[in-house]
Amino acid sequence: MTVEGFDTEGVLIIANITKCKEYYSRNAFNYDYPKGLADLLIKGIIHIITTKEAVEQIDFVFSKEAIHPDVWEYKASYNYLDVAEEDEIRLISHAAFTRMCNNHKGDLKAKIEHSLHIRNLLNPDRPVSGEAVLEDELPLLELAPGLWRINVYTLLEESLSGWPEFMLLLQKTDAVDLSKITLEPLEIYE
C-alpha cells in the first residue's frame, strides 16, 4: 500500500482506532506530548513519528526484500501495533488524533460527524460525507489480527519536495519485549 501527500500536521500517527475508542472511553486525554501517549505506545495502540507538516510518500511493505539498502536507511525503533479481529487501523494527523481522543473520547466517527456540518456550511459547493473524509483523509491500513512490529526506513537522499518519504516494514511477531518499546517518537524532518 502507498499513501502519497499525507498531511501529518507535524506528527504521523498510525492508530488502532478501535482500541483508541476503548481506551479513551475510560481515560482522559493527556496533552503532554509525547509522554502523554506512552501508555498507548506500550499497549501497541499507536505508533508515532515526528515529521514536517506533511509526508511525501509512505510505502507499507511486508517483506524485507522490498527494501533496497542503497535507497533506504533503517531508523532504530522497537514499536508495534496490537491488532484484534475487526480492528480499524488508520493514519491520522496529531491534530485530528487529539480532537478525536479529547473531544470525542477516541471515537473517530463522532469526530468526523461533528466537523461535517461546519465543513459543509463553509463549502456548500462541495459537500462531503463521513465516508469521503475517511477515504480521502484517513487512510485505512488493513492488517490481519496479531502483533505487528513497525520498522521505519527513510530515503538516503532527500526527496525533491524536501518532505520525508517512508517505507514501513510491517512484520508479524509472536511476542513483544516491552522493555524495548521506544517511548520517544522518531524525529524525521529530512
- Domains of the chain plus CATH, in order, are 2-187 (2.60.34.30)
For 145-170, the pLDDT digits (tens) are 999 999 999 888 766 666 678 889 99
Cβ 11 vs Cβ 48: under 8 Å: yes
Mean per-residue pLDDT, 62-71: 92
For 80-134, the pLDDT digits (tens) are 999 999 999 999 999 999 999 999 999 888 888 888 878 778 888 888 787 888 7
At 115, which amino acid appears?
A: S
pTM, two decimal places = 0.88
Distance CA 152, CA 74 (A): 6
Q: Specify the higher pLDDT residue, 9 or 143.
A: 143
For 3-35, the pLDDT digits (tens) are 888 888 888 899 999 999 999 999 999 999 889
CB atoms within 10 A of CB 184: 12
Distance CA 119, CA 128 (A): 8
Q: Regarding beta strands 54-61 and 165-173, do their DSSP bridges make them parallel or antiparallel, or are they unpaired?
A: parallel
Q: What are phi and psi of 24, to 5 degrees?
A: -80, -5
